[in-house]
Structure 1
Amino acid sequence: MIQFPIQSYKGNVIYTHDMEAWSYYRLHENTVGVNEQEAENHLVNRLQRLAWQFAAFEEIDYKIVPIPVDIDKRMDSLQQQYEGKYAEIGKYYAERAKEILREEAKNVVEYKFFVGIKLKKRELDENILSTFSSSFKSMNRYLQKLAGFGGHEVDDLTASMFEESEEDAYATINNYLGAFRAKEKELCYIIRHQFVRGQEQPDGDGSVYSLTEGILDPGKAGYLHIRQLDDESWCAFLPVSEFPVDLSHKEWAYFFQSYHFPVEVNMRTIYKKKKDDENQTNTIKKRFRDQDAQLIEANEDDDSLINTGRELLHELENEIKNQGKPLLRTHINFVVYGQTKEEVRKRARRLKSDFKDQQIEIVQPLADQLLLFHQSLPAAKIIAEDWEQILTPESFAESLFSLTRKIGNTVGFYLGKNISHDGESIESSQSLVFYHPFLAHLGLKGSKYSSPHVTISGPTGMGKSYLLKDILLNGVFFGAKVLMTDPKNEVEKKFKQALTPEMERMAPFFKELIESFNYITLSSEKKDAGKLDPLTFLEGEEAQDAAVGVLEYLSELQSNERNVKTAIYKGVRHVLQQEEKPGLLKVVRYLQESDDQDVKNVGDLLYEIGTNGVAKLMFSEGDVDGISLGEQVNILQIQNLNLPDEGEKAATRDEHIAVALMQPLAKFATKFARDDTVVKMTIFEEAWMLMNTGAGDRLINELLRTGRSLRSAVYIVTQSTYEYNKPQIKENIGTKFAFKAKTTEEAGNIIEFLGMEDNKANRNMLKNLSEGQCIVEDMYGRTAKIQTDVLFDEWISAFNTKESDRGRAETEEAFM
């Protein structure tokens, strides 16, 4: 009869009935960016060195445990962070997201990586023994064992025998991969998981006895049936029966993470003494000699694979002899499970087929399923020895153990799916991406950036505005105050177009949300004149610098017109000092009254600009009412603004005025962002125009530097990352979203901006991104290709920036 191996546990250490101890650790999850071979090689190198160092511990238990993503728990946690005016609406949408994701993501898991290390027992001398008054406790422990009772408690004497070895084990694993000592709750979860695979997952509590409840039935050949009181499931253990000679780039502990069903992995490696390893190579050499003799007898040529194997064996023999390289006697089994035997059969078939493509053979033993189940338990002994594989540290490292696909935040609103693997789509991917806009500035452990700022870049029509509006609506639920600049004057129009009578009936909360926003529309009409006059809402040197910047830019002065520049400075200073209500029109009149004809001409030009068209917004007599930002969400939009194409200088007078308007607009937003009494989102649409001016460039830099201390997250939406690809700027940006690159040059710039590996694959990927697909670098410095995804029909309708095609698209596609 097979005995359950665990006698008791304490902290992260499991004690067996044979007085052995195993310490367990949860690894830091490693990530590798898209097509980043160098980063992958770095992980392989660390795994290789770790596998070598583990030889000091004789036996290691590697586990990959798929843990279901608890949508309800995450959404409940998110709702607790909602506050302010829109908290109830946020909770309504969180509940709707729950319902949708429960169905769409019912098989979604996150992979956690655990390593168990068999500890060495320290022999205790008499002095140490005398410090413990636990003789009776120890005797009692053995009486319990004889009686077949396994208690949870561990006496101090037993624990002390393994303390030193546990510290060595933790130092070793933490040095190479980074690890946490497993919590008792995590140990309980791993144990209980074995008995409820494919059923409702455990919460990690309970006695050893309660953790092992369940009826295991191996009656169906190749399967194990697990029954609980109110549930049942099936599972199949699939051990590796053959590895190829070369395991390079096989990723055999990683590639299946893109599957739509969970896969569990158990790997046990056993280390023996150097003499045993040398004997092992001698055994293999004998097999090669036998094969050579058979080839000679059959009068056949040498097999190239055998020759390669012979060369590798010779090299390995020298490394064992001269460097002490260890051999890893490895037992690996994969576990698939599900509600029905048929479901498990299909999953096992998929796994076997995909591994066969990797030249790795895994099998589904008919009679040993129960033995393999027992062998997968923490601290269990190897009892199914038929599938032992001899690996080197290098070949083990090619597993990419500890590599995960995680991107984004653990708790946040649903943003989309990770589609980094070849052939993945929004429909097939099971890797959910969550995003929280107000975490980065907290300086969380493991994060690369401590900045709340965000860039969203890419050409028109690829999904920038769609993503931004998704973040905007979700952001207001956290109580954030918002100022969004909308130079295209489209946000209110698109939002309110979505409020059809049918939509109002279906989604009343959406109507309430959209209609409560403060849409501030600035036009060329007289009533709006002067509302962006920098002298009316700024003070001191800041007002002077902004006013001079606007007037100089509009005047298009040449470098030799110093007299005019001087006059502008003097005029602004004069108005600020002498006028109770300063305004730019008063500066213009100061210039018009100059005796210098050049200055007078510029004054006349500025008067014509400032009293006609949309430029009137920047010019006043100082008697205008300021813009009210009393609401939580304020969207500042300007009508009839003719913007130049991205990357182009303003070519017409209208374009020139449009760029000039961005300066006071940005100053206005900066003033809003400086209020540190509330959490804020300051959003700059078409921010590239700001960077085209010296004043705008300084403004963006100031906001990025100070935003964290001011509790302000700045969102920069632009068509190109070129202006932001500078160390002093990009280091102040916490999250970066990059949509399609139009050119190879732009692809290279994005790669540098995101810190990705510059190679042909990445450049091609960026140039071939489809609508809604982007590369994201999160606050932890991880990169991935994601597909944005909005769950609610009314939001999708409101975010769509495309004009109605009046059936043209449907007509075209009908004949394809």
Structure 2
Amino acid sequence: YIDPKDEMKSQFLAVRDKLESYLPEMEEKISELVVLIEDDEILARRIRNLEFSYHKPLIDYINHIHFVSLDVKDKKNIGALDPIVFLEGNQATELATQVTKGLIGDKLTEDDRFENCFNQKVQEVIEARAKGKTVGLLNVFQLMAKSEEDFIRYRAENILSKISGTMLELVFSEGQNPSVSMNEHITILGVTGLNLAKSGEVKTAQNEMSDIIMYALGDFCRFFGARDREQETVIWLDEGWFFNTTDIGKGILMRMKRVGRSENNFLVLISQSVKDGASEEDDTAFGTIFAFKETGNTTAALKAIGLPDDVEEIIKWYENMTKGLALLKDPFGRIGRVVIQGQNSALNECFKTSFSKMKSTKAVA
């Protein structure tokens, strides 16, 4: 789950901490049941019911989530997207080369001596990582900075100076921290601090560093979804505008849509506007659409679903929808109106993202 606002981790953990504060009370009640009930089957059922009433399964679920934050201000996040840490073999080589090209451009390949040295050191570090050593992509340039050739040494030192103290440490590290993982069952990846240039804008140094982070983020999603054709995977991309307003974001989105065709991956694009669901370049026949009421944008919503936008009855049918109602279009073109209902009040609290100390006008009245 890609969370561009990096707000889910704090809320999920806050809900977990609150629920955990009631567990001692639950344990006391379980102890009482053990004394009172001799039948093991009845006891197990009563304990299970008690655990559900105290939301123990939800606590276990939240503890099962692997939270990763792309915030370099916290040194624990350094190397979160280091390709040599979360990938292996050719995939690690491919992404390591790509992000390095993003950092220094044609300087990577303009001189065979530098490129050959880079390729050699990448393989050395990847092999060292495979043997259990704590190393990452930054070590490649540290090794190159020891070269006897001044040209290679000076350029490697220059690269190290570009990385030090910047957000690039998320990708170029010494492998000392855990990274995103291909093996975690659930990962929520919070993205923060990126400054992406919009299509057509001249890129600043900050934009170029953000692009490198996005390259690594996009390849993590692509490799995660494509690595095993027999394993069903789901990737959630929240805040669709975040990807559709930049060239690199659009590229990542298109690659992810194509992964799903043959690799058993299900892509979910979440946005506040139906306009973020497709583009003129999109030929992937993006599947199921859920469209909640979008105030002031009735025409676009109806067009996205495939309904007439000039029939008064259909317009009223859409605009009369209340909270929890949505239009649904399935891959076969069937359209209907459905109700989305949360099944667990405590779980619903995890998705609360709007907070205010002000009392509502309705409550005051």
Q: TM tier, shorter chain?
A: 0.5 to 0.7
- In structure 2, what is the equivalent of residue 617 of structure 1? 170
Q: Report the secondary structure of 1:531's partner residue.
A: coil
- In structure 2, what is the equivalent of residue 789 of structure 1? 341
Counterpart CA distance in 2 for 1:594 and 1:776 is 63
1:670 aligns with 2:222: yes
Q: Report the secondary structure of 1:707's partner residue.
A: helix
Q: CA deviation at 1:550?
A: 3.6
1:813 aligns with 2:362: yes
Residues 800, 531 of structure 1: CA spacing in aligned structure 2 closer, same or farther, 3 A cutoff?
closer
- In structure 2, what is the equivalent of residue 534 of structure 1? 83
- In structure 2, what is the equivalent of residue 576 of structure 1? 119
Residues 619, 514 of structure 1: CA spacing in aligned structure 2 closer, same or farther, 3 A cutoff?
same
Q: CA deviation at 1:672?
A: 1.8
- In structure 1, what is the equivalent of residue 354 of structure 2? 802
C-alpha contact (below 8 Å) 1:681/1:715 kept by paired residues: yes
What letter is aligned with 1:759?
D
Greater strand share, structure number? 1
Q: Report the secondary structure of 2:346's partner residue.
A: helix
C-alpha contact (below 8 Å) 1:738/1:750 kept by paired residues: yes
What letter is aligned with 2:63?
E
C-alpha contact (below 8 Å) 1:704/1:729 kept by paired residues: no
Q: Report the secondary structure of 1:713's partner residue.
A: strand
- In structure 1, what is the equivalent of residue 328 of structure 2? 776
Q: Report the secondary structure of 1:809's partner residue.
A: coil
- In structure 1, what is the equivalent of residue 237 of structure 2? 684
Matching of residues 454-473 of structure 1 within 5 Å: none
TM-score (norm 1): 0.33
Q: CA deviation at 1:519?
A: 2.5
TM-score (norm 2): 0.65
Give 2:278's match in structure 1, choosing from 725, 732, 737: 725
Q: CA deviation at 1:619?
A: 0.7
What count of residue pairs does the alignment treat as equivalent? 317
C-alpha contact (below 8 Å) 1:544/1:573 kept by paired residues: no
Q: CA deviation at 1:545?
A: 5.4
1:490 aligns with 2:38: no
1:754 aligns with 2:285: no
Residues 815, 513 of structure 1: CA spacing in aligned structure 2 closer, same or farther, 3 A cutoff?
closer
Counterpart CA distance in 2 for 1:522 and 1:569 is 34
Matching of residues 395-794 of structure 1 within 5 Å: 484-499=1-16, 500-501=18-19, 506-524=54-72, 525-538=74-87, 543=92, 546-547=95-96, 549-551=98-100, 553=102, 563-564=106-107, 566-567=109-110, 574-579=117-122, 580-581=124-125, 584-585=137-138, 604=158, 607-621=160-174, 626-638=179-191, 640-642=192-194, 657-674=209-226, 675-691=228-244, 696-722=249-275, 724-726=277-279, 729=282, 731-739=284-292, 741=294, 750-759=301-310, 772-794=324-346
Q: CA deviation at 1:759?
A: 3.0
Q: CA deviation at 1:699?
A: 4.2
Q: Report the secondary structure of 1:581's partner residue.
A: helix
Counterpart CA distance in 2 for 1:498 and 1:646 is 36
What letter is aligned with 2:14?
Q
Residues 783, 529 of structure 1: CA spacing in aligned structure 2 closer, same or farther, 3 A cutoff?
same
Q: Report the secondary structure of 1:797's partner residue.
A: helix
Q: Report the secondary structure of 2:262's partner residue.
A: coil
Matching of residues 27-426 of structure 1 within 5 Å: none
Q: CA deviation at 1:587?
A: 6.5
Q: Give the percent of matched residue pairs that are identical in Structure 1 and Structure 2.
A: 22
Counterpart CA distance in 2 for 1:570 and 1:740 is 59
Q: CA deviation at 1:720?
A: 4.6
Q: CA deviation at 1:801?
A: 1.3
Counterpart CA distance in 1 for 2:338 and 2:114 is 53
Counterpart CA distance in 1 for 2:322 and 2:331 is 24
C-alpha contact (below 8 Å) 1:551/1:568 kept by paired residues: no
Gaps of 5+ in 2: 24-52, 127-135
- In structure 1, what is the equivalent of residue 37 of structure 2? none
Counterpart CA distance in 2 for 1:570 and 1:719 is 50
Q: CA deviation at 1:617?
A: 0.9
Q: CA deviation at 1:532?
A: 0.9
Q: Report the secondary structure of 1:577's partner residue.
A: helix
What letter is aligned with 1:519?
F
Greater helix share, structure number? 2
Counterpart CA distance in 1 for 2:335 and 2:325 is 13
Q: CA deviation at 1:736?
A: 1.4
What letter is aligned with 2:263?
L
Counterpart CA distance in 1 for 2:76 and 2:111 is 27
What letter is aligned with 1:533?
D
Gaps of 5+ in 1: 1-483, 558-562
C-alpha contact (below 8 Å) 2:240/2:276 kept by paired residues: no
C-alpha contact (below 8 Å) 2:2/2:237 kept by paired residues: yes
Counterpart CA distance in 2 for 1:571 and 1:536 is 23
Residues 709, 628 of structure 1: CA spacing in aligned structure 2 closer, same or farther, 3 A cutoff?
same
C-alpha contact (below 8 Å) 2:76/2:177 kept by paired residues: no
Give CA deviations for 1:509-537 in whole Å, capped at 9, x if unaligned: 22222223233345424443223123444
Residues 608, 768 of structure 1: CA spacing in aligned structure 2 closer, same or farther, 3 A cutoff?
farther
Counterpart CA distance in 2 for 1:645 and 1:719 is 21
Q: CA deviation at 1:573?
A: 6.2
Give CA deviations for 1:582-610 in whole Å, capped at 9, x if unaligned: 554366676998859xx95x974x54452
Residues 530, 508 of structure 1: CA spacing in aligned structure 2 closer, same or farther, 3 A cutoff?
closer
C-alpha contact (below 8 Å) 1:724/1:730 kept by paired residues: no
RMSD between aligned alpha carbons?
4.5
Q: Which has the higher contact order (CA 8 A, sep 6+)?
A: 2
Counterpart CA distance in 1 for 2:291 and 2:197 is 19
What letter is aligned with 1:797?
E
Residues 648, 735 of structure 1: CA spacing in aligned structure 2 closer, same or farther, 3 A cutoff?
farther
Q: Report the secondary structure of 1:801's partner residue.
A: coil
Counterpart CA distance in 2 for 1:791 and 1:633 is 20
Q: Report the secondary structure of 1:794's partner residue.
A: helix
